[in-house]
Chains A and B, each alone.
Chain A
Amino acid sequence: MIEAVGLTKRYGDKTAVYNLSFQVRPGSVTGFLGPNGSGKSTTMRMILGLDNPTSGTVTIGGYPYRKLPNAPRQVGALLDAKAVHGGRAARSHLLSLAQLSGIPARRVDEVLRVVGLQDVAKKRSKGFSLGMGQRLGIAAALLGDPQVLLFDEPVNGLDPEGILWVRNLMKALAAEGRTVFVSSHLMSEMALTADHLIVIGRGQLLADMSVTDFISANSADFARVRTPDSEPQLREKLSSALTEAGGHVLPEQDGALRVTGLPLPRISDLAHEADVRLWELSPHQASLEEAYMRMTQGAVDYRSTIDQKAGLQQPLPPGAQPPMPVPGQGQPGWYAPPPPQQAGQPFTAPTPPSGPYGGAPAGAYGAPGAPGAPSAGAPNPYAAPAPQGQPPVAPAQPPAAAPAPAASAPAPADPTQPKDAR
């Protein structure tokens, strides 16, 4: 059990972590999410007693890390895969750690086997790939057979087999009643691994709940409905019947309908009443990524924008660039305007059902938070030689969102210094 109470860390006048209180309970995998620079690493370092909190406390099993009796046998952590002396062999590295905390040498060979490094145990870690370094770091974390485990980005550099292995390892550790706390940027991976989530943004707690609750709270579930391909009129008929009954219907790329606001049995009944046969009626939950994006969109440090390519247009010698196969040929611009339904801010779309991840390729080239993708149907906006009459309008934020920086800021508009730039 890890418990943080009012945890705060300031570096000078920059607040990295502010008043963070949470518990990481044993028996489940708890995911720790947040954008770059949100204070995840600082929090992890404070848990391990590497950084001192400015105020507040964090304890493991009731003790601050530094007062923990025989800490290496109780807590194992993977913070940085490359934190190994490059000239030392994998086995010597583990052996020196084991000797520090009175763990017998044969345990070293055990963990090397567990992580699959037994064949390279005598090799210097300098020649290790990122994935091998990661396995060595995991071996070090497992060394003391600890009840509490912390992993920072554990699947970095691993191949699919390694990723699957780490995922199952973490689940198995939790199933044995251990406390497993994992940070990751890979939402799809987290969705498969974690049971519980702690989400922070700009050093503050944004959410502390189960994965399923988190997804439901931050996005809408929907139903996918498909009617016989051969009879498009059935699709229209069903679409209007569902809309009439209060549902919200959006077409998907492959011809299916995405329906929100109606339970599956009701859709089934409505289809029956309208005499429409169904080829598919499946429940879907939005992805963890979508839910996460909605929640943290105000707390992102680095933003990508649309590629303007003005710099490439004139000076190129004739014929150097093959013509672009974009719709809207003949325009000097390089990118086509986004298709109608994807225009606008993906995350701030006023109607939750228009989830931006629903398989349709997003037309907008920019990342969320980029200048509002130009309105549908407008001529290629990037071709305009001068700024258009209308400046991009920062769309209204949904109430659930954290206060967002000016949506049109192309670069870190974040008042707090980005972590990476330190």
Chain B
Amino acid sequence: MIELVGLTKRYGEKVAVDGLTFSVRPGIVTGFLGPNGAGKSTTMRMILGLDRPTAGDVRIDGRHYDQLKDPLTYIGALLDAKAVHGGRSAYHHLLCLAQSNGIPDRRVAEVLDTVGLTAVAKKKAKGFSYGMGQRLGIAAALLGDPQILMFDEPVNGLDPEGIHWIRNLMKSLAAQGRTVFVSSHLMSEMALTADHLVVIGQGRLLADTSMAGFIRQNSRSYVRIRSPQRERLVDVLHEAGITVVEAGGGTLEVEGGKAERIGELAARYGVVLHELSPQQASLEEAFMQLTAESVEYHAHAGPMEVPQDWGAGWKGA
């Protein structure tokens, strides 16, 4: 369990994190989302006692980070894949960390095996690809078999096999009752991994809610229907006070999550349905909706305006 209370960080005039209060609970994967510059990394560094909060408090299982004895056995973190001395081997990198927290040496070989780096364990880290560095960072996080795990952009640089692996790893860690806190920019990936979401923008908490709740609140959901008896179905639904919209290709759409009710109505009036599928917007859409105002870098020309814009100034010249 990670608890933040009124956590604030200022750098001079600029407020990076502004009064964040939330808890990360065990047993689920909690996603940590926000645009670039929203304060995610600063928050994670403060959780690990690396940056000092200007105000507020963050506790790990009720204690401050520097009060933890052998902290790696409480919380393991992946912050930056490249935080390895290039001249040191993967094995020695992990060995230093293990020794500093009284973790037995043979655990190092185990985590190397877990992340699939055994074959390159003795190689210097400077020859590692980003993906391999990422695996090494994950190995370091798992080293102390901690109850709390924190990952910053864990899938960066991994190939699909690695992405699939880390996703299942996080889910199984949560299923074992551990606390898993993960930040990512990949909404589609998050949608598959996280159960709960904490969203921040410009250092402030924007949402702290379940994944399903987040999508429901921040986007449109509807039910798509296909039926060989379309006219009759429209009548039946109309009768019941449900608004139906023609959506082309012979499909009908009904706003909101009313699939159950439509199914019951169709059964009662003997209307055959060939499709009755509740549709939800993607996490990405919901996220964009929520954070639209707190994005730092905007690409200017929208996608569809690009063509006119392009080269207009010089093509003729």
Q: A192 and B188: CB pair below 8 A?
A: yes
Task: Determine which of A282, A306, A363 lies in contact with B275 in the assembled complex, contact meaning CB atoms within 8 Å.
Answer: A282
Give bound CA distance, A411 to B70, whole Å. Answer: 30
Is the C-beta of B109 less than 8 angstroms from some C-beta in chain A? yes
CB-CB < 8 A to B273: which residues of A? 268, 278, 281
Is the C-beta of B246 less than 8 angstroms from some C-beta in chain A? no
Proximity string of chain B (277-307) to chain A, C-beta cutoff 8 Å, 1 when within and 0 when not: 1100000100110010001011111111011
CB-CB < 8 A to B244: which residues of A? none
Nearest residue, chain A, Cβ from B169: A365
Shortest beta-carbon contacts, A-B, top 4: A282-B277, A311-B107, A188-B188, A168-B303
Q: B120 and A421: CB pair below 8 A?
A: yes
Which A residues between 180 and 203 are near B, CB-CB below 8 angstroms?
185-189, 192
Q: A114 and B300: CB pair below 8 A?
A: yes
Task: Determine which of B106, B168, B278 lies in contact with A311 in the assembled complex, contact meaning CB atoms within 8 Å.
Answer: B106
A sample of 5 cross-chain residue pairs with beta-carbon separation below 8 angstroms, ordered by A number, consists of: A107-B314, A110-B314, A278-B263, A418-B119, A420-B128
Is the C-beta of B230 less than 8 angstroms from some C-beta in chain A? no
Q: A325 and B186: CB pair below 8 A?
A: no
Proximity string of chain B (88-126) to chain A, C-beta cutoff 8 Å, 1 when within and 0 when not: 000000000000000111111111011111111001000
Interface residues on B, range: 35 or more
Q: B116 and A324: CB pair below 8 A?
A: no
CB-CB < 8 A to A412: which residues of B? 116, 119
Is the C-beta of A3 less than 8 angstroms from some C-beta in chain B? no
Which A residues between 146 and 174 are near B, CB-CB below 8 angstroms?
155-165, 168-169, 171-173
- Asked whether A278 and B267 contact (CB < 8 A) given A307-B114, A421-B120, the answer is yes
Proximity string of chain A (109-144) to chain B, C-beta cutoff 8 Å, 1 when within and 0 when not: 010011111100000000001011001000000100
Q: B116 and A185: CB pair below 8 A?
A: no
Q: A188 and B107: CB pair below 8 A?
A: no
Minimum CB–CB distance from A405 to chain B (whole Å) comes to 13
Q: B189 and A186: CB pair below 8 A?
A: yes
Q: B176 and A326: CB pair below 8 A?
A: yes
- Asked whether A362 and B168 contact (CB < 8 A) given A280-B263, A315-B104, the answer is yes
Number of residue pairs spanning A and B whose beta carbons lie under 8 angstroms apart: 296
Nearest residue, chain A, Cβ from B313: A106
Is the C-beta of B86 less than 8 angstroms from some C-beta in chain A? no
9-residue interface stretch from A12-20, A85-93, A297-305, A391-399: A297-305
Q: B113 and A410: CB pair below 8 A?
A: yes
Minimum CB–CB distance from B149 to chain A (whole Å) comes to 12
Task: Determine which of B131, B145, B228, B266 lies in contact with A36 in the assembled complex, contact meaning CB atoms within 8 Å.
Answer: B131
Nearest residue, chain A, Cβ from B228: A265
Is the C-beta of B171 less than 8 angstroms from some C-beta in chain A? yes
CB-CB < 8 A to B263: which residues of A? 228, 277-280
Task: Determine which of B35, B104, B164 lies in contact with A293 in the assembled complex, contact meaning CB atoms within 8 Å.
Answer: B164
Is the C-beta of B14 less than 8 angstroms from some C-beta in chain A? no
Nearest residue, chain B, Cβ from A103: B314
Is the C-beta of B217 less than 8 angstroms from some C-beta in chain A? no
